[in-house]
Amino acid sequence: MPKSYNGWSASPNPADFGGLARLEVAGETFAPGVRAGDVHAVFQYLAEQLHRRVEPIVRPDWHQADDWGYSYRKNVNANNLSCHASGTAIDYNATRHPNGKRGTFSAGQVAEIRRILGELEGVVCWGGDFTGTADEMHFEIIKGAGDIARVAAKVRGGAPAPVPPPAPAPPHTPGKFAWNLPAGHYYGNIAGPAKSHGGYYSAERDEVRNIQQWLIYHGCVPGVPSSAWASSGWADGKWEGPTDGAMATWHARFYAGQPFPAQCWRDDYDRLARA
């Protein structure tokens, strides 16, 4: 029998691996279900906690029926068999957290997601932590049957689930990183020369994302309110044409007369990263 990339047996006929069980939270189902047994117990706990503590699974003004379970198919971001094919993955509020987008949850929501995954003792991975293409709707099993059985027994009912601490208040500003580029280098368009750091390498993207968040904070991004600096997917860690425009807008408003208005040099960042 083939296996999904997390090592669990997969099949176009779920009966081959024990069948599916209905996963439902607040009347919303993860169609057509998830792997029956211990995997189902773990996902039931996860989905209920996401609904209660992170983001409701259903709301009248949101798209409905966008929570998904088993599907025998390849991984959309790699050439291997998806964890959905073994019934060991779910997608939560998929239309609100599309594949390939980062920042679709607020900082407070991300902290709460990490607390829930900690309660599950690391047997589930969140797609927002993928090092390649982000998939923030996605949660998948990453441990074997023994670990899943132990955690399933825990969440089924021995001890009550711990009462989570209140989520920390999100910061009021994006924060400031320590400038780390060599002399003569700057943050700028991803298609620029070697001295232009625009998120081509993953190691640069946190800094680029921070600059983009400051541009949102200062009201320099058309169509994105300054209050959305922490949650907007516009800050994606890749410096392309829209970031050129936002940086030029910031220069025109706050630091006019600079020779490279679409770039962020050290003196620019020192002024940009201020409330």
Residues 106 and 237 in one domain: no
- Can you give the pLDDT at residue 90? 98
- Residue 165 maps to a domain: no
Euclidean distance between CA atoms 33 and 7, whole angstroms: 19
Domain boundary among 141, 156, 171: 156
- Residue 220 maps to a domain: yes
Residues 111 and 207 in one domain: no
* DSSP SS3 for 236: coil
Strands (E), the chain: 20-21, 24-25, 28-29, 34-35, 89-91, 124-126, 138-141, 186-187, 196-197
List the CATH number of the domain containing 152.
Answer: 3.30.1380
- Can you give the pLDDT at residue 65? 84
Residues 152 and 19 in one domain: yes
Q: Would you state the structure tokens that stand for residue 25, as one six-digit string?
A: 């939270």
Residues in the chain: 275
Residues 32 and 129 in one domain: yes
- Residue 180 maps to a domain: no
Residues 191 and 152 in one domain: no
Neighbours of 103 (CB within 10 A): 24
Residues 132 and 217 in one domain: no
- Can you give the pLDDT at residue 168? 62
Residues 199 and 263 in one domain: yes
Provide the domain limits for residue 141.
Answer: 14-156
Residues 152 and 205 in one domain: no
pLDDT, block means (10 residues), the chain with 275 residues: 94 95 94 96 96 90 84 85 96 94 95 96 95 94 96 77 55 89 96 95 94 96 93 95 97 95 97 91
Residues 150 and 236 in one domain: no
- Can you give the pLDDT at residue 76? 77
- Residue 6 maps to a domain: no
Euclidean distance between CA atoms 162 and 182, whole angstroms: 47
- Can you give the pLDDT at residue 159? 45
Residues 199 and 90 in one domain: no
Number of independent structural domains in the chain: 2
